[in-house]
Amino acid sequence: MAVYRARETERPDAAFRDPYARALAGERGEAIANAMPFFEEHAWAAIARTHLFDRLVKRLVRHGVDLIVNLAAGLDMRPYRMELPPTLRWVEVDLPEILDYKERVLGDTKPACALERVRLDLSNGDARRGLFERLGASAPRAAILSEGLLIYLMRDEAASLAYDLARQRSFEFWVVDLVSPGLMEMLRERSGDRMREAGAPFLFAPHEGAAFFTPLGWTAVEVKSILKAAGKLGRLPLGLRLLSLLPESSAPAGSRPWSGVVLLSRRN
């Protein structure tokens, strides 16, 4: 993701600016991107997804959220590159080696808001529930981000995570990205072997779409198509640009290739 943010930043019409992305991606990031032609061809999806998450973060902060918890934060730089109030608390959760690398690259660079990093394997249920309880008790209004995470989880793992988050009353919102079974099939055909070899197979594409989360304590209040967002940004090739202009069904995409960003609200 960092390499795509770096390339977008270098455009005169950039949808966002991330002055740190190039250093974080490094030569290794470029090499990985160049070795995955399918993702290179569809880099517009990464840009549009980042843009949609950015917009929701801004809206949630304006709405009064005082804590944002970024699960599997990776090399995300929103606490540094976005204009955020200094009173906002931001918590990044990821594996130690990822956060250690990030800190080495950033050095003494200061974030715009209060930032905490938690080194944690989210597959450890007891550890993550303990973290959620601590964070849930520390802020009256929190939002969760999980950009690029759920696709790597088994269905029962995604359900367990959703349930654990919904147990915290102060976790009001959760922003996720989803793919349809149709897009999952395409991803597996075009790049599935490489991702499996890397130990990160694509797994989660609920046939219910955002309704998957309803019995787990969450209601979808907004669903945005990544294709349509990319079209509005002017990042699509001609064929897809025309496709993005077609009206979108409110029903789950099923066998149609589709991806989107979903704002979930915790059900009281």
Could you tell me the fold of the domain covering 2-266? Rossmann fold (3.40.50)
- Select from 217, 210, 219 the least CA-distant residue to 167: 217
Answer whether residue 45 shows pLDDT above 70.
Answer: yes
- Give yes or no for a contact between 222 and 263, defined as CB atoms under 8 angstroms apart: yes
Residue, of 1 and 110, whose pLDDT is higher: 110
- At residue 30, the pLDDT reads 81
- 252 or 266, which is more confident: 266
Q: Are 243 and 227 in contact (CB under 8 A)?
A: yes
Rounded CA separation 137/170 (Å): 8
Q: How many CB atoms lie within 10 A of CB 197?
A: 9
pLDDT for 103 equals: 98
pLDDT of amino acid 184: 94
Helices 155-166/125-138 angle, 10° precision: 30
Give the model confidence (pLDDT) of 190-248 as tens digits: 875 677 777 778 999 999 999 999 999 999 999 999 999 999 999 998 889 988 988 88
Return the pLDDT at 192: 57
How confident is the model over 106-123, as pLDDT tens digits?
999 999 999 999 999 999
How far, in whole angstroms, is CA 111 from its chain's centroid?
19
Dist. CA 183–CA 145, nearest whole Å: 22
Domain ranges of the chain: 2-266
CA angle 81, 158, 192 (to 5 degrees): 80
**Cα angle, residue 52 at apex, residues 50 and 58 outer, rounded to 5°:** 100
Percent of the chain residues topping a pLDDT of 90: 81
pLDDT tens figures, 84-106:
999 999 999 999 999 999 999 99
| Predicted local distance difference test score (pLDDT) of residue 112 | 98
End-to-end CA distance of the chain: 35
Average pLDDT for 124-135: 99
